C-alpha cells in the first residue's frame, strides 16, 4: 500500500519522473543519475521495487544551480559544498572560486607574456650571434646584472595585541622571505615554508638560465607546500592551519618571485614605491571586479578570507582553496630596494607612510626597524614580518 501511495503521488504531479525533471532543469537524465550518485542532487523518492527516481519540482532551482556551477568549471566536490549552503554563503563561495580562477588565469597570462618576451629576445640574440660565439643558456640581460648583489635585513615582531608570533621572516644573500601563519599550527607552517626555501643554492652567478630558474621556482613552491603539510600534520586542527608565503630568490644575476596569500612585495625605484604582488584574498577580488573601492576595502567588515595559501590537507575555514603559488622573474636594476611584508604591516600602515619609511632609511637594517615601529605606532593589532633588500654593485 505504501508503494502504491508513492506511485499515486508521482502520477498526480506532486513528484515528476527523471525524464520530466531533466526537461525542467535542462540537465540530462544521465547527469541527474551521476549527481545522485555523488550526493549533489538526491531524488525526492526512489521506488524501492523498480529503482525509478522521482523529483520534487521545487528542486529545479537547485538543479539549475548545479548546472550553472558546472558551466563555470567548478569541480564537483566544491559544488557539493556550495549547494549545501544558504544563498548568501553560496554567493561568497562562488565569488571566491571565480576570483581564484581569474587570479590563476592572470598568473598564467603573465608567465605566457614573459615567455613570449624571453623567447623573442633570445631569438634576436641568436640571430646576431657569431658562429663561434658561446651560448651560456642565459638571456642577453644576464651579463648586465652579473656584478650586482643584494644587502638585506629582516625583522619580525609580535605586535601589541597578539600573545604569540606566527609570522616568520628571513634575509640572506640568496633568499628574502616573509610568511604569515594562521591557525593552531600557524607558527610551524610559516617557519616550515621559509625553511624549505633555504637549501636551494640557485646556482652560481649566471648559472641558471631564465627557463631553469622558473623550473626551480616551481619545484621550490612544491617543496614549501609539502613542508607546510608535514609541519601542521601533528596539530590538533591541521585543516585549519597554514601560511602565506612571499619570497624572492637571488641567483646573482636574476631575481625569482614566489608568492601566495596576502603578504606583499614592493619595489622602490626612482623614488616611487610599487606593489609587485597581487593579494590572493576575497577583498582584493572585490576591488578587482569593482564591488569595492580601495578606500572601502580598508574598512571592509568581512573576514579576511584568503583565496590561496599553503595549508594542511583539508580546507580551513579561513582559506577558500589551497593552490600553487605564483612564480615569475623580476627585472633587477642597481639601486632597487625591495620590501616584503606581512599584512600586519601593510594593513595598518598608510601607503604614504610606508613609502616615506622605505625611502628615508639609509640601509635595510634601519628600514625594517622603522617599519616595525610604524606598525606598533598604528596599534600593532597583528604580528609583523618584514624583509628589505637593496640591489647594489659589488
| Residue 302: pLDDT over 60 | no
And the C-alpha cell for 149?
A: 648583489
Residue whose C-alpha is closest to residue 366's, from 392, 340, 337, 388:
388
Q: Decide: 285 and 295 in contact? Cβ < 8 Å.
A: no
| Residue 126: pLDDT over 50 | no
Please list, in sequence order, all residues whose beta carbon lies within 8 angstroms of the beta carbon of residue 135, skipping any fewer than 6 positions away.
126, 129
pTM of the model: 0.67
Task: Give the pLDDT of residue 137.
Answer: 31
Q: Which CATH architecture has domain 2-84?
A: Orthogonal Bundle (1.10)
Task: Give the pLDDT of residue 157.
Answer: 97
Identify the H or E element spanning 375: helix 364-377
**Interatomic CA distance for residues 136 and 207, integer angstroms:** 8
In this structure, are strands 53-55 and 167-171 parallel, antiparallel, or unpaired? unpaired
Query: Domain 95-116+147-393, what fold?
Result: Phosphatase 2c; domain 1 (3.60.40)
**pLDDT, tens digit, for every residue of 188-228?**
999 999 999 987 545 554 456 667 777 888 888 889 999 99
**pLDDT, tens digit, for every residue of 49-91?**
888 889 988 888 888 888 888 888 887 778 888 888 888 888 8
Instruction: Tell the burial category of 20 from Cβ atoms under 10 Å away from its Cβ (0-12, 13-18, 19+).
Output: middle
At 16, give phi and psi (nearest 5°): -125, 160
Report the sign of the C-alpha dihedral through residues 369, 371, 377, 380, in that order.
Answer: negative
**Interatomic CA distance for residues 43 and 56, integer angstroms:** 8
Distances (CA, A) of 329 to 97, 311, 322, 326: 27, 25, 23, 10
Distances (CA, A) of 136 to 51, 117, 133, 215, 255: 69, 19, 10, 17, 18
Task: Give the pLDDT of residue 217.
Answer: 85
- On average, the pLDDT of the chain sits at 81
**pLDDT level of residue 8 (50, 70, 90 thresholds):** very low
Where along the chain do the CATH 1.10.1660.10 domains lie?
2-84
Where along the chain do the CATH 3.60.40.10 domains lie?
95-116+147-393
**Interatomic CA distance for residues 252 and 207, integer angstroms:** 9
Amino acid at each position: 500500500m505504501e508503494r502504491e501511495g508513492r506511485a499515486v503521488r508521482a502520477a498526480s504531479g506532486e513528484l515528476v519522473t527523471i525524464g520530466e525533471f531533466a526537461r525542467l532543469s535542462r540537465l540530462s537524465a544521465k547527469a541527474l543519475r551521476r549527481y545522485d550518485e555523488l550526493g549533489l542532487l538526491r531524488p525526492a523518492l526512489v521506488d524501492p521495487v523498480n529503482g525509478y527516481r522521482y523529483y520534487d519540482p521545487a528542486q529545479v532551482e537547485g538543479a539549475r544551480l548545479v548546472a550553472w556551477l558546472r558551466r563555470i568549471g567548478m569541480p564537483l566536490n566544491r559544488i557539493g559544498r556550495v549547494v549545501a549552503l544558504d544563498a548568501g554563503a553560496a554567493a561568497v563561495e562562488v565569488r571566491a572560486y571565480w576570483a581564484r580562477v581569474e587570479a590563476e588565469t592572470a598568473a598564467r597570462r603573465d608567465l605566457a607574456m614573459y615567455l613570449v618576451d624571453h623567447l623573442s629576445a633570445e631569438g634576436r640574440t641568436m640571430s646576431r650571434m657569431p658562429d663561434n660565439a658561446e651560448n651560456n643558456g642565459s638571456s642577453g640581460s644576464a651579463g648586465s646584472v652579473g656584478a650586482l648583489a643584494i644587502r638585506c635585513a629582516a625583522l619580525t615582531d609580535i605586535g601589541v595585541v597578539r600573545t604569540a608570533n606566527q609570522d616568520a621572516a628571513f634575509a640572506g644573500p640568496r633568499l628574502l622571505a616573509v610568511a604569515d601563519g594562521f591557525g593552531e599550527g600557524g607558527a610551524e607552517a610559516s617557519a616550515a615554508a621559509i625553511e624549505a626555501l633555504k637549501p636551494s643554492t640557485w646556482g652560481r652567478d649566471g648559472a641558471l638560465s631564465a627557463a631553469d630558474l622558473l623550473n626551480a621556482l616551481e619545484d621550490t613552491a612544491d617543496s614549501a607546500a609539502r613542508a607546510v603539510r608535514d609541519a601542521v600534520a601533528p596539530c590538533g586542527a591541521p585543516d585549519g592551519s597554514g601560511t602565506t608565503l612571499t619570497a624572492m630568490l637571488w641567483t646573482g644575476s636574476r631575481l625569482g618571485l614566489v608568492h601566495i596569500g596576502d603578504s606583499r612585495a614592493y619595489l622602490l625605484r626612482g623614488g616611487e614605491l610599487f606593489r609587485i604582488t597581487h593579494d590572493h584574498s576575497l577583498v582584493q577580488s572585490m576591488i578587482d571586479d569593482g564591488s569595492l573601492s580601495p578606500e572601502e576595502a580598508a574598512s571592509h567588515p568581512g573576514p579576511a578570507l584568503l583565496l590561496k595559501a599553503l595549508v594542511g590537507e583539508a580546507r580551513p575555514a579561513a582559506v577558500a582553496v589551497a593552490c600553487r603559488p605564483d612564480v615569475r622573474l623580476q627585472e633587477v636594476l642597481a639601486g632597487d630596494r625591495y620590501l616584503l611584508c606581512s599584512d600586519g604591516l601593510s594593513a595598518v600602515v598608510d601607503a604614504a607612510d610606508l613609502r616615506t619609511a622605505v625611502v628615508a632609511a639609509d640601509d635595510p637594517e634601519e628600514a625594517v626597524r622603522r617599519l616595525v615601529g610604524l606598525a606598533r605606532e598604528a596599534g600593532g593589532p597583528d604580528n609583523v614580518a618584514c624583509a628589505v633588500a637593496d640591489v647594489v654593485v659589488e
